[in-house]
Structure 1
Amino acid sequence: MRSVAGNPTVRLFVGSLLASADRQPFVEYQAALRHAGWQGAFVRPETLHLTYAFLGDTPVSAISEVIQRIEAVLPRQSLPVLWDVTGTFGPRARPRVLWAGSRRPALGLIEWARRIGDVLGPWIATSPGAWTPHVTLLRIKHVPDSSMRPVWHPFTTRVTAIQLIESRLTPDGPVYRVLTDFSLND
């Protein structure tokens, strides 16, 4: 546990960990990237997730209020996500992250992400902007000379749970601990 100005903190985000059945297309795409010569830190299957808000180092004393605020705007029904695009973050010549996402996310998903940003504003560590649902697949160290990405095959899943997650950084990658799991109705 870290401490800021003498107050213990934990690194938090609000997201949806992908169900094991929903991970397979992402894992297969990671394998295709490896085969095509992409190198870097591939996100472990059990940590693949969709992030709504990154809170960063948050005082432990604020966790119960964060949970209450999430509950106040929580969608009651599961939400569909069409995973129909891949992209990168960072400069075109040296991208840093490769992701899979949704060009046209369901309005309910966009609305919920906006609402969570509104109620958790005091704790959000990232600058506000247009939210694009995505799952990080690879933190890039090397792009093959051809720089061609394997073909992405669109598919749809449903967000059936939203979690408040603690993220501890380790040399082997982040370790996640779900602090609260909010299940959504189908």
Structure 2
Amino acid sequence: MRAFVALELPEAFADEVAALSRQLAAVCEGRFVAEGDHHLTLAFLGEVDEAGARAAMDALEAACAGVGPVELAAEGLGTFGRGRAATLWLGIRRSEELDLLARRVREELAARGLTYDEKDFLPHVTLARRARVPRGELGDLAFPLPDEARDVTLFRSILEPDGARYKSLHSVEL
């Protein structure tokens, strides 16, 4: 199964991300992430078997022990890639707590022999894939207000023709 570890967005922040996404969908082409599926990935594991999923759950428990809520503050838009393959994302301001959580999750996964995508951690929430963002102004966008995230989850990613569907496998409250 395809799996990843992510910080879940608190309800009010998630609602505001969804509203921002709807604003952007009115001026940008792309396959926008479904409402309720927005998250902040801490580590992408890729394919894992059942034993790997159980090890990832243990890693999550260890990584989150003693860690409190993490502040989320929106910090502009960005893209990965070019042309029709671009991914549009909402940047999240780096903080000591957020960087520490991502590092601990990755260290605990590695300690259990699990591999993950080792790209540098860039805190963001994916808004759309295959996005075409017009040049110039995007209008008066309403960015989410700062909030605190309290849940870290191991998700299963199920790829379907119209996009990925996510299933929570295990969550830990901060």
* Paired residues of 2:88 and 2:131 also in contact (CA < 8 A): no
Answering whether residue 28 of structure 2 is matched by residue 30 of structure 1, we say no
CA displacement at 1:71 relative to structure 2: 1.2
- In structure 1, the partner of 2:137 is 148
Query: Given the superposition, is the C-alpha separation of residues 98 and 152 from structure 1 closer, same or farther in structure 2, using an over 3 Å criterion?
Result: farther
In structure 2, what residue type is equivalent to 1:71? E
* Paired residues of 1:166 and 1:177 also in contact (CA < 8 A): yes
| Corresponding residue SS for 1:47 | coil
Q: Deviations over 1:47-68 (max 9, x none)?
A: 1011000001012122222211
| Corresponding residue SS for 2:48 | strand
Q: 156, 165, 172: which is aligned to 1:175?
A: 165
* Paired residues of 1:17 and 1:47 also in contact (CA < 8 A): no
Gaps of 5+ in 2: none
Query: Given the superposition, is the C-alpha separation of residues 66 and 141 from structure 1 closer, same or farther in structure 2, using an over 3 Å criterion?
Result: closer
* Paired residues of 1:70 and 1:116 also in contact (CA < 8 A): yes
- TM-score, with structure 1 as normaliser: 0.82
In structure 2, what residue type is equivalent to 1:15? A
Size of the aligned set, in residue pairs, is 170
**Percent of pairs identical after alignment?**
29
Q: Deviations over 1:54-111 (max 9, x none)?
A: 00101212222221122112153111111122111114x66611101124x2201101
| Corresponding residue SS for 2:103 | helix
Answering whether residue 40 of structure 2 is matched by residue 50 of structure 1, we say yes
| Corresponding residue SS for 1:45 | coil
Query: Given the superposition, is the C-alpha separation of residues 84 and 152 from structure 1 closer, same or farther in structure 2, using an over 3 Å criterion?
Result: farther
Q: Whole-Å Cα distance in 1 between the matches of residues 162 and 85 of structure 2?
A: 22
CA displacement at 1:139 relative to structure 2: 0.9
Gaps of 5+ in 1: 1-9
| Corresponding residue SS for 1:46 | coil
Instruction: Please tell me whether Structure 1 or Structure 2 has the larger radius of gyration of its CA atoms.
Output: 1
Higher relative contact order (CA 8 A, sep 6+): 2
